[in-house]
Amino acid sequence: MNIASAEVVLTSPSRNFVTLKVTTDEGVTGLGDATLNGRELAVATYLSEHVVPLLPGRDAHRIEDTWQYLYRGAYWRRGPVTMAAIAAVDMALWDIKGKVAGLPLYQLLGGASRNGLLAYGHASGTSLQSLSESIHAHLERGYRAIRVQTAVPGINALYGVADQPQSSGERYDYEPAGRGVRPVEEDWDTAAYLRHVPTVFEHVRQEFGPELPLLHDAHHRLRPIEAATLGKRLEPYDLFWLEDCTPAENQQGLRLVRQHTTTPLAIGEVFNTGWDYQQLISEQLIDYVRAAATHFGGVTPLRKVMDFAAAFQIRSGFHGPTDVSPVGLAAQLHVGLAIHNFGIQEYMEHSAATNNVFHQSMTFKDGYLHPGDNPGLGVELDEEAAAGFSYQPAYLPVTRLRDGTIHDW
């Protein structure tokens, strides 16, 4: 069975998504997610100009060979644009293989290692009171693990923080697409943040008790010694993890963090290959792999990095924001269900408009996700609905310090 054609579909129901649809000469179709938030058109062009023309005539079953062909064949390796494009092809071919076999993808990866995937939801608030309301709202929706983010006194605008809507029917959109031709600018003050965050967790533990798994994302904003300070200050509150405590390009920086704190660390949502994890995993500098199938070259390398991590008792915590499309989310749910060293799955809930474009077999019940048992990935694209939403420029924010210096965020 050969690939007959491939097509890039751009749609923007409530944010932009780049999807690859591969069709075989037997009429089987597969979907892959290539969405790169804020740089969508670069991946769409990479795919349509440099990848789609290479696909017709290739054996659709040779997933590993196609992956290596696109990765090694380009000569120019790694990078988010290249790896998102390769990811889309890889996912689409796994989707096709599952459909041909009549099996959900997780069955092809070894079968289920558990009944469902523990998911964490995102609570946030501009005040401690609104944060508490948000945590209550998430617990009512069934979540059994919660990420906690808040506004910080002295910082005017912080990405990913919003109050929970008062009416229960309204969607909680705390990371809306930043539509517009330029990014908005936010501000940052590390000292204010380091002072404030422990008081937030003190409040949450007092109200919700010791058992609820709590997570926090520092979003690459700290230097290693600051990250170590935060990890130490948060130890009394027994976090499930502290995420992206420092930008991980400086991998040795994690040694310093690790020497000072036992707060578990999760890193890697911006990584795009297993090689980015080489030092962090082999030196056991992290506890959770944050990669997303979409930005990491697809199902094939995600499975490989988790097997490497397993040798060091490191578990998964795949990146599941709403800018990973339902196709990308499904890919990692199948991997998470199959691997032994699953840890937790991020789950942000796509908008109703997105769910009308991408029909998912995935379920969320009592705090657990399951990819469903439809053959392949279990996601179908409604192309007519997709065509109703054209691409709109949208950017992640840019952050500056008080003196105007651009900062990590």
**37, 246, 273, 341: which one contacts ligand CS2 (CB under 6 A)?**
37
d(CA 360, CA 356): 9
Instruction: State in angstroms the smallest separation of the CB of 217 from Mg ion.
Output: 4
Nearer to ligand CS2, 67 or 318 (CB): 318
Nearer to ligand CS2, 95 or 346 (CB): 346
Q: Which of 122, 138, 216, 219 is catalytic?
A: 219
- Judged by beta carbon distances under 5 to 8 A according to partner kind, the member of ligand CS2, Mg ion, none in contact with residue 276 is none
**187, 396, 397, 407: which one contacts ligand CS2 (CB under 6 A)?**
396
Q: Which of 61, 69, 136, 159 is catalytic?
A: 159
Applying CB under 6 A, the span of 42-50, 66-74, 133-141, 317-325 interacting with ligand CS2 comes to 317-325
Whether 67 contacts 83, CB under 8 Å: no
Instruction: State in angstroms the smallest separation of the CB of 144 from ligand CS2.
Output: 18
- Judged by beta carbon distances under 5 to 8 A according to partner kind, the member of ligand CS2, Mg ion, none in contact with residue 321 is ligand CS2
Whether 156 contacts 183, CB under 8 Å: no
d(CA 292, CA 271): 9
Nearer to ligand CS2, 88 or 93 (CB): 88
Site for ligand CS2, residues 151 to 180, rule: CB under 6 A: 175
Nearer to ligand CS2, 96 or 289 (CB): 289
d(CA 178, CA 327): 22
Residue with tokens 């199959």: 338
175 binds Mg ion (CB under 5 A): no
- In the annotation, is 219 catalytic? yes
Whether 350 contacts 55, CB under 8 Å: no
DSSP conformation letters of 219-252: TT-S-HHHHHHHHHHHGGG--SEEE--S-TTSTT
> Which residue type, as a one-letter code, is found at position 215?
L
What angle do the packed helices 299-310 and 326-338 form, to 10 degrees?
Answer: 30
226 binds Mg ion (CB under 5 A): no
d(CA 124, CA 348): 12
d(CA 243, CA 219): 7
40 binds ligand CS2 (CB under 6 A): no
> Which residue type, as a one-letter code, is found at position 221?
R
**33, 40, 90, 217: which one contacts Mg ion (CB under 5 A)?**
217
**Residue span 267-286 as binding mask against ligand CS2, x where in contact by CB under 6 A, dash where not:** --x-----------------
With H, G, I as helix, E, B as strand and everything else as coil, classify residue 362. Answer: coil
Helix, strand, coil percent values for the chain (each to nearest 5)? 40, 20, 45
Site for ligand CS2, residues 339 to 358, rule: CB under 6 A: 346
**28, 123, 323, 347: which one contacts ligand CS2 (CB under 6 A)?**
323
With H, G, I as helix, E, B as strand and everything else as coil, classify residue 123. Answer: strand
Instruction: Give Rg (Cα) of the chain.
Output: 21
d(CA 60, CA 397): 39
Nearer to ligand CS2, 21 or 216 (CB): 216
Residue 219, Cα to own-chain centre: how many angstroms?
Answer: 13
- In the annotation, is 159 catalytic? yes
Nearer to ligand CS2, 16 or 164 (CB): 16
Interface residues toward Mg ion, by CB under 5 A: 217
Interface residues toward ligand CS2, by CB under 6 A: 37, 175, 217, 219, 269, 319, 321, 323, 346, 396
Any idea which residues carry the catalytic annotation? 159, 219
